[in-house]
Amino acid sequence: MTYLKQGVLAAAMMLAATMTSLHQAHAGQCEQQSFEEAKYVICTLEAGKADLRLFWKSADGAPYRAFSSLAEAVRAEGKTLVLAVNAGMYRADFSPMGLYVENARELKPATTAKAESSAGQVPNFYKKPNGVFFLGETGAGILPTDEFLQHAPKVRFATQSGPMLVIAGKLNPIFIPGSTDRTRRSGVGVCGAGTVRLAISEDGVNFHDFARLFRDNLKCPDALFLDGGNGVGLYYPVMSRNDRSWHGGYGPILGVVE
């Protein structure tokens, strides 16, 4: 074999090794899991290591709406969007339903009003208690909205959604075991040592089972529902995932940047 061929082979092997190591590094963040016969994608973000942020609007003031649009904006800053999920429910104009804080600026205030029920159904956001996922000086946290407003922690990022799934190690008491209200769901939990876990169900699950996933399987004492049905979305290129919302786009987005 000539020195030229050896050099080309060595370069190819080095590139392959680099791509493999990058894939392994990213693959360690999200993985497919099953819990009680339902399939999920679980993303684990270690405290202090993942650059987790909230995004809503681009530099021109328009909502990103699509994961790919956000990925392009992040790329223009010389960084990479590693993974992203819809960060909670939003209105028809893609604005957050409740509290939204980005880079320590409150862009939307918290919502404490009660919603009128329709045909006996209360929209998920207003089911009590709802809560706030936040990133602050001491790391990530989740609190019921009333407690968050009472303690007023200093935060860099925060998003309000609901209902709470797990509160201080206990399931939200409004959930019904065996409920037939089954759909795809997404949520976020803050677990041991401040680890953040994102869960996206690939199958239809009810609230009770989804909450148990966080408490019993992922060991998260606090967890918050983000969205359900057609609003559930995941961006994770390692798994070839770049979901699109059936609602014409997403509102706030929770993303990890490298």
CA 214 – CA 199 distance, rounded (Å): 8
CA 230 – CA 247 distance, rounded (Å): 7
Looking at residue 72, its amino acid is: E
CA 251 – CA 33 distance, rounded (Å): 27
Residue 63 reports pLDDT greater than 60: yes
Per-residue b/e over 94-109, b at no fewer than 16 CB within 10 Å? bebbbbbbbeeeeebe
Is the model more confident about 28 or about 65? 65
Check residue 28 and give its pLDDT. 44
Quote the percentage of the chain above a pLDDT of 90.
80
Residue 1 reports pLDDT greater than 70: no
Count, residues in the chain: 258
CA 106 – CA 55 distance, rounded (Å): 13
Mean pLDDT of the chain: 89
Check residue 25 and give its pLDDT. 39
**Mean per-residue pLDDT, 114-121:** 69
Q: For the chain, which residues make up each domain, given as ranges?
A: 35-108+124-257
Residue position matching structure tokens 């199958």: 203
Using alpha carbons only, what angle is made at residue 78 by residues 234 and 95, rounded to the nearest 5 degrees?
A: 45
3-class secondary-structure state, position 182: coil
Element (H, E) at 151: helix 145-151
Quote the percentage of the chain above a pLDDT of 70.
87
3-class secondary-structure state, position 106: strand
**Mean per-residue pLDDT, 169-183:** 97
Residue 180 reports pLDDT greater than 50: yes
Grade residue 116 by pLDDT with cuts at 50, 70 and 90. low
Check residue 137 and give its pLDDT. 85
